[in-house]
Homo-oligomer: A and B are copies of this chain.
Amino acid sequence: MAGQVIGVDVGASKVAVATLRAGALGRPTVEPTSTAGPEALMDEIAGAVAAVRTGDTEAVGVGIPAVLEFSTGRVKWSANARLEDVELRVLLEERLGVPVFVDNDANCAALAEAHDDAEPDVRDLVMLTVGTGIGGGLVLGGRVYRGHTGAAGELGHTLVGALLEHGAPAAGRFPQAGSLEALAAGRALDALAEAAARAEPGSALAARLAESGRVTGRDAVDAALAGDAAARRLVALVGERLGVGIANAINTFDPEVVAVGGGVSAAGELLLGPARDSARRFVVPGVGERTVIRVSRYGADAGVRGAALLARQEL
């Protein structure tokens, strides 16, 4: 317990690395994610770890947006196709010479949200990371829940708006139409923002489109935070849809906390208010009576902090 652990958060665009010692997270170092293949990415991770490593480093935890086999850290499915079938944990352990643990990034974020040195751990927590896609992480009974093969928690891919009668979705295409991710992630907000910009030429979003040639969900969040009514309606619509996923999570887990993180959660109560309202409508009476729905406590640092906590918990 004397030493430090190191957390690594491998995102689609950035790799963040930070130390955790006696509950205090060091300032993360951040660099662009190498996209030149598994070897280059592992070199990058090893280099960033070496830069903050001390003699008393006990273990390294790595969070990555992928479906994994936990024991080997083998990537079974990832948006970054070049990582597939790579045994990240095994290979990084060989390079680093300390124990390495690799887990889904939303599982790591869930662990961070459930743990705070200043208060008792949250035993049952559902994490939704709403960024480009939607990741899910589960802490149940105080531990990360990974299921039978390590791949549990893919809440973004659960279907909330699917009706088979409306036509069968394309096999093997994810996110599926009707999934929570297809309806309520950053990509959905991108599409709503662009449609609104084209439909309302005098709007703030239209100005943004004219200025830069494109308009994104991030622009909608910024405009909503700046007070633009049209942008607020888009964020609220995504919040309402997210609320359906939150209701499903509450009906399923009756958790103590549902934490919402990821880039879209920067909208704060503009997103969470409508999400809470729609969630409450769909929750069965008697379920979730003490569930708190809140924005991620650690924001952008939840992933790297959780990766470090993973190393500490699994050691």
Residues of chain A having any CB pair with chain B under 8 Å:
67-68, 76-77, 123-124, 136, 140-141, 143, 145-155, 157-164, 168-169, 171-172, 174, 176, 178, 183, 240-241, 244, 247-248, 251-256, 278, 281-282, 284-291
Contacts and interface: CB of A to CB of B under 8 A. Distances in A.
A67 B147 contact: no
A288 B254 contact: no
Interface of A is mostly: loop
A268 to B, nearest CB: 21
Contacts of A178: 161
A247 B248 CA distance: 14
Contacts of A160: 159-160, 162
Contacts of A172: 285
Contacts of A76: 285-286, 289
Contacts of A241: 164
Contact of A164 (B148, B244, B248, B286): B244
Nearest to A143: B141
A142 to B, nearest CB: 11
Contacts of A278: 164
Given A282-B176, A284-B174, A285-B67, A290 B248 contact: no
A151 B176 CA distance: 30
29 contacts: A67-B284, A67-B285, A67-B286, A76-B285, A136-B252, A146-B254, A147-B255, A148-B255, A148-B290, A148-B291, A149-B287, A149-B288, A149-B289, A149-B290, A150-B254, A153-B252, A154-B287, A155-B252, A157-B251, A158-B248, A158-B252, A159-B247, A159-B248, A160-B160, A162-B244, A162-B282, A164-B241, A168-B281, A174-B284
Contacts of A150: 254
A123 B290 CA distance: 27
A143 B247 CA distance: 24
Contacts of A143: 141
A10 B160 CA distance: 31
B148 A256 contact: yes
Nearest to A69: B286
B148 A123 contact: yes
